[in-house]
């Protein structure tokens, strides 16, 4: 009975799951239009070896550089929320948690030596996490990315809070 209720809860939250996946995909697409494939970790999994668009394509100003941080936190907050019971407290903790992860990772790009030293050795053996030291070493700190991540967390919580009674219950 518990498993059946859990499954129907997940299905009931599918709108958040779908929206979260869409937000992550949108952020990845923006990221891929702004950077060289050699600078993007996940392109190697899809065999993308050349730029998607020619030089000069992209969003104006630094918008294209900060939107991925916004969509990353927004998307992961929605996805994680879809897998929980969805109380307001849980939603808040999820949004704050993803914001904090993004903020710590971004700050690690500013304090590279400390971040690299603090990165556990076992990360080198785990998919995705094996690139953590390289991320800190080659990344560029931008406080606007932290602000964008905060906006993503805020929007995720706002969406979950405003539409909770319609969709999540």
Contacts 24+ apart (CB under 8 A), 23-26: 23/71, 23/74, 23/75, 23/78, 24/71, 24/72, 24/75, 24/76, 24/79, 26/71, 26/75
Looking at residues 61-68, what average pLDDT do you find?
Answer: 79
> What pLDDT sits at residue 11?
57
129 Cβ contact partners less than 8 Å away, ≥ 6 residues apart: 123
> What pLDDT sits at residue 165?
45
Looking at residues 67-74, what average pLDDT do you find?
Answer: 95
**128 to 102, 147, 154: CA distances (angstroms):** 15, 24, 26
- Which residue's entry shows tokens 């939107």? 67
User: Binning pLDDT at 50, 70 and 90, where does residue 162 land?
Assistant: confident
The domains of the chain are located at 2-27+62-168
Judge whether residue 8 has pLDDT over 60. Answer: no
Looking at residues 97-104, what average pLDDT do you find?
Answer: 98
**59 to 22, 29, 113, 152: CA distances (angstroms):** 19, 12, 32, 18
> What pLDDT sits at residue 64?
74
Judge whether residue 129 has pLDDT over 60. Answer: yes
> What pLDDT sits at residue 119?
95
Looking at residues 59-70, what average pLDDT do you find?
Answer: 78
> What pLDDT sits at residue 51?
59
Looking at residues 85-109, what average pLDDT do you find?
Answer: 93
pTM comes to: 0.81
Q: What is the pLDDT of residues 20-55, one digit of tens each?
A: 999 999 988 887 777 766 666 666 666 666 555 555
């Amino acid at each position: 009975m518990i498993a059946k209720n859990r499954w129907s809860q997940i299905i009931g939250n599918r709108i958040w799951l779908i929206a979260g996946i869409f937000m992550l995909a949108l952020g990845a697409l923006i990221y891929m239009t702004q950077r060289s494939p050699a600078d993007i970790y996940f392109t190697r999994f899809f065999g993308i070896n050349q730029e998607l668009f020619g030089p000069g394509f992209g969003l104006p100003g630094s918008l294209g550089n900060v939107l991925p941080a916004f969509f990353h936190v927004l998307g992961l907050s929605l996805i994680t929320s879809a897998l929980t019971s969805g109380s307001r407290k849980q939603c808040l903790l999820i949004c704050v948690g993803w914001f904090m992860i993004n903020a710590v990772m971004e700050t690690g790009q500013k304090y590279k030596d400390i971040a690299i030293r603090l990165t556990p050795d076992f990360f080198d053996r785990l998919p995705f996490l094996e690139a953590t030291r390289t991320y800190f070493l080659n990344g560029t700190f931008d406080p606007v990315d932290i602000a964008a991540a905060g906006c993503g967390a805020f929007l995720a919580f706002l969406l979950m809070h405003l539409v909770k009674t319609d969709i999540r219950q």
